[in-house]
């Protein structure tokens, strides 16, 4: 049987630490998989810039296209030099190169872990990934931001019927596997053409799924409802920027971005990515929480037909988060990244030995 080929790109800041933790956990669950696990690691970010003059070499993009899945560590792209000097954002480059049009971001509360919300919830944000206001990925050539004269800066927002259709279909497929509800998030009362087109497509897809409850909500109202009644949501269907913002809010309400998994999906490719940043101020200090990237890797395994291994990871994390003594420091616990990773491996071993 052919192996499951996973490419790991550690990134910057805490990226190498949490990527290393993730690979350790993947090796621990490898015996539970139906296919052999083949892991490869290549450099991106500042390490690649120093060695090859670019933050994402073309060889890495080629390797990502050949892999069954990619694990992308966080990157410090805001600190990179201009793109003309090799400082491209690896995340944006890979999303475009692999046509990763859907960014799936679950957020849920964990038993025993105190969270800002008083209402336990379990939802998923289905975020369009290649359009919207994101200037580095919404044009065929050139950027989506420009300054026609000094003191004036403009940003282009691209929404297409094809892009809206793909993310809407992904959202309805998710809802069919969950509680059967999709909420389309928009601002069509102001952005009548762009969000109007997005809603037109969402309604068309909804009409083809009469078994799924469908509703719509203005993005500002959605933010308010998330704070007060997050348990009313199942799948939030969003354009790029709205989904980015609301998924961060939902993750914080569940306990923090350190718990937020994220999977970027295309027709053939998949990329697991932590929802948080590179946190350079704590890099190399064993203070990072690797949960987000580990959960993202579990999502990747499930997507690639390895539900047993994915469930083993998720169960171990749920068990660890249930007790203050088995949490990382950001969640009020005593553990560093290495000890937390070792504990997850112990829990997996105990459950499946």
Residues classed as catalytic: 134, 187, 220, 244, 248
Per-position b or e across 8-29, b if 16+ CB within 10 A of its CB: bbbbbbbbbbbbbbbbbbbebb
Six token digits for residue 319: 């068990």
Question: In 3D, which of 138, 247, 127, 117 has the Cα closest to residue 184?
Answer: 127
The phi and psi torsions of 134 (rounded to 5 degrees) equal -80, 105
**∠ CA 169-138-144, rounded to 5°:** 150
Chain-centroid distance of CA 188 in Å reads 26
DSSP conformational letter for 22 = H
The phi and psi torsions of 141 (rounded to 5 degrees) equal -145, 135
Q: How many CB atoms lie within 10 A of CB 241?
A: 16
DSSP conformational letter for 332 = T
Q: Do residues 10 and 41 lie in contact, with contact meaning Cβ atoms separated by under 8 Å?
A: yes
Q: What would the DSSP string read from start to end of 3-19?
A: -EEEEEE--STTHHHHH
Side-chain-side CA neighbours of 166 within 13 Å: the count stands at 19
């Amino acid at each position: 049987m052919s192996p499951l080929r996973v490419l790991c790109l550690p990134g910057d800041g805490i990226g190498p630490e949490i990527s290393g933790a993730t690979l350790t956990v993947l090796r621990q669950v490898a015996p539970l998989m139906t296919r052999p696990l083949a892991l490869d690691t290549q450099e991106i970010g500042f390490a690649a810039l120093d060695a090859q003059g670019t933050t994402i070499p073309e060889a890495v993009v080629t390797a990502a296209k050949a892999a069954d899945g990619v694990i992308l560590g966080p990157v410090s792209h805001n600190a990179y030099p201009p793109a003309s000097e090799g400082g491209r954002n690896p995340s944006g480059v890979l999303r475009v190169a692999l046509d990763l049009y859907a960014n799936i971001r679950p957020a849920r509360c964990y038993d025993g872990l105190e969270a800002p919300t008083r209402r336990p919830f379990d939802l998923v944000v289905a975020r369009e990934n290649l359009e919207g206001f994101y200037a580095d990925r919404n044009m065929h050539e050139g950027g989506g931001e420009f300054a026609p004269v000094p003191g004036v800066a403009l940003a282009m927002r691209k929404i297409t019927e094809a892009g809206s259709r793909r993310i809407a279909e992904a959202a309805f497929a998710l809802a069919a596997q969950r509680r059967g509800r999709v909420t389309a998030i928009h601002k069509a009362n102001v952005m009548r053409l762009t969000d109007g087109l997005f809603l037109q497509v969402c309604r068309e897809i909804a009409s083809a799924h009469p078994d799924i409850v469908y509703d719509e909500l203005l993005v500002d109202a959605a933010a308010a409802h998330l704070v007060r009644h997050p348990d009313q949501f199942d799948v939030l269907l969003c354009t790029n920027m709205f989904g980015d913002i609301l998924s961060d809010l939902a993750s914080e309400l569940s306990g923090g971005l350190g718990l937020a998994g994220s999977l970027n999906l295309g027709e053939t490719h998949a990329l697991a990515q932590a929802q948080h940043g590179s946190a350079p101020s704590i890099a190399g200090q064993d203070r990072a929480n690797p949960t987000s990237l580990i959960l993202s890797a579990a999502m990747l395994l499930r997507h690639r037909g390895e539900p047993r291994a994915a469930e083993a990871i998720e169960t171990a994390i749920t068990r660890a988060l249930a007790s203050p003594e088995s949490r990382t420091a950001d969640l009020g616990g005593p553990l560093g990244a290495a000890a937390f990773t070792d504990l997850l491996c112990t829990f997996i071993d105990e459950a499946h030995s």
